[in-house]
Structure 1
């Protein structure tokens, strides 16, 4: 019988840089992947394992590897667990640092000069997502959605934040801590992603859902459910359609369950915890809600299992014209498979408004080739944003850095 690694290798689309998942540290920019729902292993085909990454100090020689004709330059250092980023109208950049309870502000210099981070707002409970609506900044943390007045050029928050959602709307701590938020200008409402408390168990809303709120924080309700840990949120240019990337469950083996990117349907159910990738039954749980399982939606695009996608953005600038309309996604990397995977930034091609084929490695090299299969890293991609000039900014929460990916100068 073929090994699981060989089976997964068969799912890779050939490219000049194709590498096997078992040698993920050697994956080169340009490697293409396509994960097919009809070619996945059965539950428990392999044992669940713990293979957590070991952090090593970054040297000057360690930097993201990008395709020919592009550069990756160090944009900022000294951040603490940097996650989400928000590019403001004055071209400064806010970065959330959940573990420090802080939002920092960086003034974007003329590249390739480095930016320096300064505290913008402190005292929140693991702040994560940020959104700008008119003259106010909105920040999502474990306790709720907070509003703080904002004017272009503010070097720090000019007032204390005010919680606008009711107590308990975000269900506090424990389990997945990320609370991402995005404002939809078309409908003038906020979407908030709230992950599950557990790996796999029945849990009431708002866990494992995307919630929707009015601008004043009222009227909270479930927009979509069955999403184990929906972290990244983005609105597709042109259509206004909401997309998310989701971290799926652990414990079913190396090859299950693939993480995914999907458009989010209002009132849609995406399986967790009773099924996965549509109506594939979760052992010991599917029989509890058979009618609900029948409604489970198959997501639009699959990532290799346990890749841990954290953030996505749609590219709509001109520096890389071939990317216009495509999604860029950060894969934080696995901790729970024998052959580590992820630890890179990828591009998901779109055609006619939908993802086509698979995805392609864009920025790799965050892993160190130790030679024994262990996950040894100097950084892990977390957040992603597009700067006004069309270059890409990637946050690394492991090394506390930001990296700018741009077209190489002639």
Structure 2
């Protein structure tokens, strides 16, 4: 027992020293992540507070009781589409209606990292453990909301997240690269060995291991989201090469280029209906206080720079990077829609069906995994942002709530979102180990 306390004490001291060093460390060299652009933006009109003291408040996962579900607005019903999964992080709906559930999570390898996660409270938040590293297929052939078939579709992966089908090729993004697999409609299991088409920088700050995928309409380009490897480049910008970006490649992995940069942790990606505009949900930086910095969803302009690590939400210079790159601070684009500080907004799906009431059509749903760097919880819900003519037309509003039990406990944490062929919405709850289905009442 005495040895355990000594080990924990050493870990805490190490963490404290590392943090102090990181806060005083200056970034060296040029920003290799900054896409070339001459476009500038006026400072945001958002009334942001000054930086303040940072708080840490991890949630305690208590799970869902039988029959208990999250809460949707009047006119909707929430049902359990699947349960007993291992951290279902994301869903992807194949053209035939089969649902792929990506099961993966943050891993803390080594005694020191595991003890640090336990001491900090990160472990009880359901954020760390042994990743399942697989994709499960669910088939609801009779469309009653209860899949009759559940099959391990693909396994032996390395912290997978992104999935996209282009023709007869299924692409999967591991944390360290993109693989492609042959796929035929109706197939329930892939046994073929994947072909690597692109390597990616692995690991990352907190949960920045996720690599999402999105193809354009004709399948000629694939977009890859890659989060930063640190909070605010405290380990040096040289460790952030090809990170905090959305990358663009050809389907064979060639032609890589930075489509947009300065996006600290872009995860959710989707196309606004009726447009060719790419949108992303982005997690902003930590340790500037409860109300800084707002996470956001934004249209992603080709070649644009969105601030990380030098500026946030427009041309607000980060005090920890003060004076380092005034040129990039000036070029920082103001994102479109703030969605709350530290909400960990990871999921993004535009509603392109007509089963929901008119106000939801063509709008954006955002899955908020929930805060840890805030004195009171924020996020832990799915919000909705109305759109008209491809642009935001109103303020974000709550859509799926009930994940928070009290100021300590939560039942689950929503992440990925998918719109089903019947117009219902699937919500991955990676801490509750469920996939929820939200349908309009008939």
TM-score by length of 1: 0.86
Number of aligned residue pairs: give it: 365
Q: Is 1:145 paired with 2:163?
A: no
Q: Shift of residue 235 of structure 1?
A: 1.2
1-side partners of 2:148 and 2:350: how far apart?
Answer: 24
Instruction: State the Cα RMSD in Å.
Output: 1.4
Taking the TM superposition and a 5 Å limit, the aligned residue runs for 1:271-310 are 271-310=307-346
Q: Which residue of 1 aligns with 2:394?
A: 357
More helix by share: 2
Q: 1:43 corresponds to which residue?
A: 51
Deviation per CA, 1:103-156: give whole Å up to 9, x if none. 111112422435553211111110100000000100001221110000111010
Aligned position for 1:96: 102
Task: Please state whether the residue corresponding to 1:68 is helix, strand or coil.
Answer: coil
2:403 aligned with 1:366: yes
Inter-partner Cα distance in structure 1 for 2:132 and 2:145: 27
User: Structure 1 187/158 Cα, relative in aligned 2: closer, same or farther at 3 Å?
Assistant: closer
Q: CA deviation at 1:362?
A: 0.6
Deviation at 1:94, TM superposition (A): 0.5
Q: Which residue of the other structure, out of 185, 189, 199, is the alignment partner of 2:217?
A: 185
CA contact (8 A) 2:154 2:191 kept: no
The secondary structure found in structure 1 opposite 2:323 is: helix
Match of 1:74 among 69, 77, 80: 80
Matched, 1:236 2:272: yes
1:186 deviates by 3.9
Per-residue CA deviations over 1:79-120 (Å, capped at 9, x if unaligned) read 111112111112111111122111111112422435553211
C-alpha displacement of 1:62: 2.6
2:273/2:390 contact within 8 Å kept: no
Deviation at 1:301, TM superposition (A): 0.2
SS in structure 2 opposite 1:132? strand
Alignment check: 8 A CA contact 1:164 1:217 kept = yes
* 1:184-263 mapped onto 2 (5 Å cutoff): 184-186=216-218, 188-201=220-233, 202=237, 203-263=239-299
Distance 1:258 1:115, change over 3 A: farther
- Report the Cα distance in structure 1 between the residues aligned to 2:50 and 2:437, rounded to whole angstroms: 40
Please report how far the alpha carbon of residue 297 of structure 1 lies from its aligned counterpart in structure 2 after TM superposition: 0.1
Task: Give distance in 2, aligned partners of 1:128 and 1:302.
Answer: 24
Distance (Å, rounded) in 2 between the aligned partners of 1:198 and 1:317: 38
**1:292 partner SS:** helix
**Residue 381 of structure 2 corresponds to which residue in structure 1?**
344
Instruction: Provide the rounded CA distance (Å) in 2 between the counterparts of 1:244 and 1:126.
Output: 21
Residues 429 and 435 of structure 2 are in contact (CA less than 8 Å); yes or no, is this contact kept in structure 1? yes
Mapped partners of 1:307, 1:159: distance in 2: 38
Report how far residue 321 of structure 1 moved. Answer: 4.0
**Cα–Cα, structure 1 residues 394 and 121, in superposed 2: closer, same or farther, change >3 Å?**
same
What is the match of residue 65 of structure 2?
Answer: 59
Other-structure match for 2:139: 107
Structure 2 residues without counterparts, runs of 5 or longer: 1-43, 105-130
Partner SS, residue 304 of structure 1: strand
Structure 1 residue aligned with 2:202:
172
Cα distance in 2 for residues equivalent to 1:357 and 1:293: 28
Structure 2 counterpart of 1:14: none
Paired with 1:130 and 1:151, the residues of 2 have a C-alpha distance of: 15
Question: What SS does the aligned partner of 2:46 have?
Answer: helix
| Alpha-carbon distance between aligned partners in 2 of 1:174 and 1:273, rounded to the nearest angstrom | 15
- Structure 1 stretches of 5 or more lacking a match? 1-35
Out of 83, 91, 109, the residue aligned to residue 85 of structure 1 is 91
Deviates more, 1:351-360 or 1:133-142: 351-360
Deviation at 1:158, TM superposition (A): 4.0
Q: For the residues of structure 2 that align with 1:59 and 1:102, how far apart are their CA atoms?
A: 26
What is the Cα deviation at residue 37 of structure 1? 4.9
